[in-house]
Amino acid sequence: MNVSYSVGDDPRSVQENRSLIATALGLEKVHSLKQVHGREAVVISEQEAVPSFHPETRSGDILMTRMPGQGLMIKQADCQAVILYDPEERALALVHCGWRGNVADVLGEAVRKMNEVFGSDPARLFAAIGPSLGPCCAEFIHYRREFPPSFWSYQVRPHYFDLWRLSRDQLIAAGVRKERIETAGLCTSCRTDLFFSYRKEKITGRFATVAALT
């Protein structure tokens, strides 16, 4: 069930996998982006809600919508997919957050964009951090040049970092209430029986997190 067009898989197989996901979830369409470890947000509006499946034409790492039946997809092989939901405004965002995304504070930017575009109060949001690289396997031997000093306290043992806790703290700093944040606690590198892991497998596919409004 690889969902990425950029890892050497047959595009027809990728399209079929995406179609299977959409059918299983009862969605009109599944939207995705060329993920670039940045802060760009793309809002799925009515004009883009036509049923079709095709390679990504736009880049970004935040997908947002308030349209029911439109699936937002993040492709993963160790990075986090973080779901943000505002039950009052009926608005949804799905964020691709690897360690570069943590450095760029893409989660804080997603919360800010939800407020700007949908009027979402950060304190109303629910957040869910999906399966991703856990503190057991998140080794960064060059962390002193990759991470700012403020991240170094997330080191759980020499060179290993708790990126789940880091993301929680970044969401809290953006105004999300800590009791509204849930973490799956599943490490993709440990569970290659369930997930693709670039860290563990190097040459591998991408699994998907998909979220939609009903």
Rounded (to 5) percent helix, strand, coil in the chain: 30, 25, 45
The answer to whether 206 and 2 have CB atoms below 8 angstroms apart is yes
Q: For 74-83, what is the mean pLDDT? A: 98
Closest to 135 measured CA to CA, from 166, 108, 104: 166
Per-residue pLDDT tens digits for 33-63: 999 999 999 999 876 655 454 557 889 999 9
Per-residue pLDDT tens digits for 105-141: 999 999 999 999 999 999 999 999 999 999 999 999 9
Q: What is the mean pLDDT of the chain?
A: 95
Which pLDDT belongs to residue 54?
A: 54
Closest to 41 measured CA to CA, from 68, 59, 15, 21: 59
Q: What is the CATH number of domain 11-211?
A: 3.60.140.10
Q: Supply 51's token pair.
A: 């049923």
Q: For 98-106, what is the mean pLDDT? A: 98
- Phi then psi dihedrals of residue 127, to 5 deg: -130, 145
Domain ranges for the chain? 11-211
Which pLDDT belongs to residue 49?
A: 57
Whole-model pTM: value is 0.94
Q: Supply 7's token pair.
A: 């890892």
Per-residue pLDDT tens digits for 56-73: 788 999 999 999 999 999
Burial of 88 (0-12, 13-18, 19+ CB in 10 A): exposed
How far is the C-alpha of 4 from the C-alpha of 6, rounded, in Å?
Answer: 5
